């Protein structure tokens, strides 16, 4: 039995349906009503496990990585489990949802258990609750497993099947850390003026919590509060016409506001509502009375609200507190179907009125993930906390590891940060290669515009990798937050590799420097045998073979970004040297018969490794010049900023690498 080679001690009454394809093999496990009613199945074992990575839901809304070497260490509410075996193979477990049952796994003394929750008195005769798989490549295995689950559940679409929302490709500003809930129209305009004075206004803006008409953490009505006396329309018009904002977004909670809708509000007369009287504490949620729009009316709720926002000029929504929906439905109705109705209503309305410009937030529960049918961006971790010293290294490490699971459902958003913060560059470097949105929460008192410009073109378009970043294979089972190892975050821009090295190790006693090594082979699926490696921080260029190792020493909150470009015909393009993810500036390029041609997204210093200087350089058809170092083999061509350009370089002699 294929499943027996992956997990052992499965109860006989559990149905096993094999799924083998693409060099991987696995099985869906269907549990009968008797076990679903029991609420758990114990003593299941992983076959030949030596170490694991778990993605656990440790708060109602957030997940984080956990590591271990024995099954008993698997944390509660684990939603993704990847492990390595002694034979070099990798195993995966994905707990699933079906009908109104949600599964997770957790360790126990003699193995692990599958836990079922969410039902409201009615259980199906049977339900598919688990997928287990085995393969040789951890990245391909995860991709294959989530794809198989999507084909069976048919409740969500994969990230690669969905459109990229427009806001993702513009640098943004969010008002949260700038003003928190004290935001008002005057402060927003002051913030935009501050950016304008500094020389750059982000084209994308989120008006965060503080604009709504609320009473005691309940939503009172759709209209903005008195801090926006004429509504949102005048503010949005000024932001777009005077400051060049292209996409204006607003924040709200999934149920309207933190505790839902106010019991005496006008909204209670327009929509059916449900009051949660259950006072049970879930995670750290304090007992309180909550009022939510009934799932049968939530479609109309969102359509009418978003139609109103669109009329005022709103282009996008950030929807928070999503995974708290279980505290609203607990004791009142089934959890999974309630979330499904809310998610499909939310995502459908965002598609109709905002062209899919939707950011899911506080939404890392699997019942959200498995209903991401149209939504394609979610916040991937807990917040950026400016005043929490231990949070910054944790933030980067957590986001990179979470991507192993979340990136298959949507584009992971690594949250805002502040450019003038002492860890601002550390956060910026991770966002630059994350493959997700880039937006800041600067106060109106100052900005590091030079840092911001390192992540985008001159017109504010993010130099964003097309794929989400992933941890390197040799970091999948290492906790770089608690062990003195450098965190390795990988990505690609076409055939060019990107490798970020981050000092994420943290101890309360005082964190030391960390020395570690890297190789070009740390970037998965990178082709080639010899590479030009450009160091963004030290601005140095070297040639490395695939498995050749280099040592690097970093202090706390330091980083290095490496562009790793395969050398072909004695040339390797590096991209814009003044950008953190400069190789993304190439829209396309090709090298043939000693001629390099490319389209570049913006001007600036464009770098190449070249064994000899080119005989001719042309920019947009006109002859140009560059500077070439015979010692370092670095060719730099400086082009004017402000527009895309066509680049042509030709060499007198073709040299093929040996």
Check residue 221 and give its pLDDT.
97
Which of 1-10, 38-47, 267-276 is predicted with the least confidence, judged by mean pLDDT? Answer: 1-10
Share of the chain above pLDDT 70, in %: 97
Check residue 278 and give its pLDDT.
57
* CA 38 to each of CA 115, 117, 153, 366: distance values in angstroms, whole numbers, following the listed order: 9, 10, 23, 21
Provide the 3-class DSSP secondary structure of residue 642: coil
- Side-chain-side CA neighbours of residue 275 (13 Å): 7
Task: Take residue 422 and report the two structure tokens written for it.
Answer: 């002492």
Check residue 305 and give its pLDDT.
98
Judge residue 284's burial from the number of C-beta atoms within 10 Å of its C-beta, 0-12 exposed, 13-18 middle, 19 or more buried.
exposed
Q: Which is more confident, 209 or 110?
A: 209
Task: Take residue 181 and report the two structure tokens written for it.
Answer: 């809930």
DSSP state of 203: S
Check residue 282 and give its pLDDT.
58
Residue pair 223/214 in contact (Cβ under 8 Å)? The answer is no
Count of beta carbons in the 10 Å neighbourhood of residue 245: 23
- 259 vs 268: CA distance, rounded Å: 14
Count of beta carbons in the 10 Å neighbourhood of residue 652: 10
Check residue 287 and give its pLDDT.
64
- 501 vs 580: CA distance, rounded Å: 13
Check residue 11 and give its pLDDT.
95
Phi-psi region of 203 (alpha: psi -120 to 50; beta: other; left: phi over 0): alpha
Check residue 228 and give its pLDDT.
97
Which of 29-33, 218-222, 324-328, 649-653 is predicted with the least confidence, judged by mean pLDDT? Answer: 649-653
- pLDDT tens-digit series, residues 132-173: 999 999 999 999 999 999 999 999 999 999 999 999 999 999
Q: Which residue has the tokens 């799924």?
A: 19
Provide the 3-class DSSP secondary structure of residue 571: strand
Q: What do you get for the CA distance between the two ends of the chain, in Å? A: 48
Average pLDDT for residues 378-389, to the nearest whole number?
97
Residue pair 141/133 in contact (Cβ under 8 Å)? The answer is yes
Q: Is the pLDDT of residue 65 over 60?
A: yes
Check residue 385 and give its pLDDT.
97
C-alpha closest to that of 74 among 51, 48, 97: 51
Pairing of strands 645-650, 616-619: antiparallel
C-alpha closest to that of 599 among 617, 614, 586: 586
Check residue 616 and give its pLDDT.
97
Judge residue 372's burial from the number of C-beta atoms within 10 Å of its C-beta, 0-12 exposed, 13-18 middle, 19 or more buried.
buried
Check residue 280 and give its pLDDT.
56
Judge residue 166's burial from the number of C-beta atoms within 10 Å of its C-beta, 0-12 exposed, 13-18 middle, 19 or more buried.
middle
Q: Which residue has the tokens 């949600």?
A: 102
Check residue 340 and give its pLDDT.
98
Pairing of strands 204-207, 172-174: parallel
- What is the separation of C-alpha 274 from the centre of its chain, rounded to a whole number of angstroms? 33
Q: Is the pLDDT of residue 652 over 90?
A: no
- pLDDT tens-digit series, residues 51-63: 999 999 999 999 9
Average pLDDT for residues 594-602, to the nearest whole number?
97
DSSP state of 279: -
Residue pair 523/490 in contact (Cβ under 8 Å)? The answer is yes
Q: What sections of 174-227 are H helices per DSSP?
A: 176-179, 185-198
**Helix, strand counts (H, E) of the chain:** 13, 41
Average pLDDT for residues 74-87, to the nearest whole number?
97
**Cβ contacts of residue 197 below 8 Å, gap of 6+?**
none
Average pLDDT for residues 457-472, to the nearest whole number?
97
Q: Which residue has the tokens 């943004």?
A: 172
């Amino acid at each position: 039995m294929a499943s027996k080679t992956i997990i052992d001690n499965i109860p006989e009454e559990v149905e096993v349906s094999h799924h083998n394809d693409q060099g991987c093999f696995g099985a869906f496990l269907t549990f009968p009503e008797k076990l679903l009613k029991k609420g758990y199945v114990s003593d299941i074992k992983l076959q030949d496990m030596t170490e694991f990575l778990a993605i656990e839901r440790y708060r109602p809304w957030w997940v984080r990585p956990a590591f271990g070497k024995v099954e008993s260490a698997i944390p509660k509410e684990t939603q993704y489990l990847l492990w390595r075996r002694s034979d070099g193979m990798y195993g995966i477990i994905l707990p699933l949802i079906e009908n109104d049952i949600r599964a997770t796994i957790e360790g126990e003394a003699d193995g692990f258990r599958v836990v079922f929750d969410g039902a409201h008195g009615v259980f199906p005769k049977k339900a598919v609750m688990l997928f287990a798989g085995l393969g040789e490549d951890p990245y391909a295995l995860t991709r294959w497993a989530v794809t198989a689950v999507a084909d069976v559940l048919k409740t969500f679409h994969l990230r690669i099947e969905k459109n990229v929302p427009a806001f993702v490709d513009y640098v943004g500003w969010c008002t949260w850390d700038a003003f928190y809930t004290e935001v008002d129209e005057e402060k927003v305009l002051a913030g935009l003026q501050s950016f304008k004075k500094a020389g750059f206004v982000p084209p994308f803006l989120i008006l965060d919590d503080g604009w709504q008409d609320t009473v005691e953490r309940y939503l009172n009505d759709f209209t903005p509060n008195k801090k926006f006396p004429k509504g949102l329309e005048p503010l949005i018009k000024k932001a777009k016409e005077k400051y060049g904002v292209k996409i204006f977004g607003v924040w709200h909670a999934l149920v309207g506001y933190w505790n839902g809708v106010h019991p005496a509000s006008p909204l209670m007369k327009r929509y059916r509502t449900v009051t949660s009287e259950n006072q049970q504490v879930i995670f750290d949620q304090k007992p309180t009375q909550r009022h939510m729009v009934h799932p049968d009316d939530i479609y109309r709720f969102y359509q009418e609200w978003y139609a109103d926002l669109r009329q005022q000029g709103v282009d996008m929504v950030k929807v928070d507190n999503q995974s708290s929906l279980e505290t609203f439905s607990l004791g009142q109705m089934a959890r999974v179907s309630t979330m499904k109705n809310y998610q499909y209503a939310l995502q459908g309305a965002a598609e109709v009125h905002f062209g899919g410009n939707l950011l899911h937030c506080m939404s890392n529960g699997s019942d959200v993930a498995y209903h991401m049918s149209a939504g394609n961006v979610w916040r991937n971790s807990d917040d950026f906390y400016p005043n929490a010293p231990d949070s910054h290294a944790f933030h980067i490490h957590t986001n990179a590891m979470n991507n192993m699971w979340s990136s298959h459902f949507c584009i992971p958003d690594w949250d805002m940060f502040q450019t003038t913060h002492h860890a601002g560059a550390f956060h910026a470097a991770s966002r630059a290669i994350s493959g997700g949105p880039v937006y800041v929460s600067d106060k109106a008192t100052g900005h590091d515009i030079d840092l911001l410009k390192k992540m985008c073109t001159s017109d504010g378009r993010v130099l964003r990798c097309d794929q989400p970043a992933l941890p390197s294979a040799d970091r999948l089972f290492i906790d770089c937050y608690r062990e003195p190892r450098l965190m390795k975050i990988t990505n690609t821009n076409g055939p060019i590799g990107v490798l970020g090295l981050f000092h994420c190790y943290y101890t309360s006693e005082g964190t030391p420097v960390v020395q570690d090594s890297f190789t070009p082979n740390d970037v998965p699926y990178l082709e080639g045998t010899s590479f030009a490696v450009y160091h963004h921080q030290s601005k140095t260029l070297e040639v490395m073979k695939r498995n050749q190792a280099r040592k690097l020493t970093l202090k706390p909150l330091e980083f290095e970004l490496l562009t790793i470009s395969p050398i072909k015909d004695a040339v390797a393009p590096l991209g814009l040297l003044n950008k953190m993810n400069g190789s993304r500036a190439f829209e396309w390029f090709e090298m043939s018969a000693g001629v390099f041609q490319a389209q570049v997204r913006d001007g600036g210093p464009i770098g190449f490794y070249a064994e000899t200087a080119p005989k001719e350089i042309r920019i947009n058809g006109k002859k140009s010049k560059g500077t070439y170092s015979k010692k370092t083999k670095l060719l730099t061509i400086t082009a004017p900023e402000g527009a895309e350009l066509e680049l042509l370089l030709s060499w007198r002699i073709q040299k093929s690498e040996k």
